[in-house]
Structure 1
Amino acid sequence: MRRTKAEAAETREGILVAAEQVFLERGVNQATLTEIATQAGVTRGAIYFHFHDKRDIFQAIIGRARFPQEEIMLQAACCNHPNPLNILEESIVAALELFATDERQQTIFIIINERCEYVGEFAPVIERLREVRRNVGSLFTGLLAIAERRGELSGEWTASTAAAVLLALVGGLLNEWLRSEKSFDLVACGGKAVHTMLRSLRAGTGAAGKAV
């Protein structure tokens, strides 16, 4: 029985890996179960043993993926730095470093952001992506709110607007790096961009002004 379960798990994993490749090449909406079965070297029946349909496969891929933004949350939880702005910088840079070396996560990121139209049967899938954005946005806002209460955040910003811009910066870096076929050093350039952004958020580094 143990061997049977192990073999079933191996088959399921093979289907997911094959689906990732097919989705990358063909796009999620255009890909077929037959193409996935062929890529995985299994029958359509084997696919139906593990998954209800193509959307179920896609949801499984998304469900087990660790998004770069989620890595930021994990890094922040492990950071012992007392300054919330430093926690943000260190966590984001660490997440960029991990993403830059994880080709599978890069593939999944491309599939999710460029290879799927979230309409029809795939419309509900986008909720997972929204959940990630909400969670990371809450982390950013929470840390920036601490900085704001301590007087460490520039008066030109509120915690919520600063969090929104920082979230957009991270997403933009990841997307542009992949779309440009890694034409720049994600860690070096990304780290510099994040450092510059956070420096502009610190109290005493920008022009005094009204919160935006």
Structure 2
Amino acid sequence: MARRTKAEAAATREALLDAAEAVFLERGVARTSLEQIAREAGMTRGAVYWHFKNKADLFRAMLQRVRMPFEELVEEIGDPELANKPLEAIRQACLSGFARLEQPRYRRVHAILIHHCETFAEIDPLAMQNEMAEEACGALLGYFTSAARMGHLRQDLSPEVAARLLQAILGGLFHDWLRNYETFSLQERGAQLIETQLRLLRSSS
């Protein structure tokens, strides 16, 4: 019985997060109340407060469902050979990330963060975006540092510059796609840009 109750509580929490996505996307985060989210989910406001302290707590939980730490993307590929091929690890992780971002939930939540969230109370969307970008850039720096140590990176290019270059491409590509996601495939264009950039960064020796 306890196991079923725990499962039901988890299902209720997920339903509330689903409802928050829908209402945040339609109305914006600042203009959405917890009562509206509860109504969208077919629940009471008390159910929201049972699972989340406030709107900021709910918002962070919604973001957490779509976080994609770069290291986890590499680990999920499950290829031990990538430890000796850092540039290939970057390529495959980026492709995996593109595929995930094209899933509706990932697209919706990132659209909310970037286009439908104003700064209010405990929510600072720019700080959150910066945190995610710096996390990705830090991971890229680690892989480019390994590539330089192995002689895979161009000698006239530092790992720091390589990481910033790729981060700029990824950020620009993602923002362009998020504004016009129906006009082109993130996976197709992303693969082309990433593979071209890595070819330019790779050592010719």
Tell me which residue corresponds to 2:111: 110
CA RMSD of the aligned region, Å? Answer: 2.2
Tell me which residue corresponds to 2:139: 139
Q: 1:93 to 1:9 in 2, by over 3 A?
A: closer
Q: 1:185 to 1:9 in 2, by over 3 A?
A: closer
* Separation in 1, partners of 2:60, 2:126: 10
Aligned residue runs from structure 1 range 1-212, under 5 A: 1-2=1-2, 3-67=4-68, 70=69, 72-77=70-75, 78-79=78-79, 80-81=81-82, 82-100=84-102, 102-123=103-124, 129-204=129-204
State the AA in 2 paired with 1:160.
E
CA positional deviation for 1:5: 3.0
Q: 1:87 to 1:11 in 2, by over 3 A?
A: closer
* Separation in 2, partners of 1:104, 1:162: 30
Task: Give structure 1 stretches of 5+ with no counterpart.
Answer: 206-212
* Separation in 2, partners of 1:183, 1:143: 32
* Separation in 1, partners of 2:196, 2:158: 18
Contact 2:144 2:159 in 1 (8 A): yes
Q: What is the DSSP-based 3-state SS (H/G/I as helix, E as strand, rest coil) of the residue aligned with 1:8? A: helix
CA positional deviation for 1:117: 1.9
Mean CA deviation greater in 52-61 or 2-11: 2-11
Amino-acid identity (%): 35
Post-superposition CA distance 1:90-130 (Å, at most 9, x none): 22112212322x2111111111121112343213x766544
* Separation in 1, partners of 2:17, 2:95: 29
TM-score using structure 1 length: 0.84
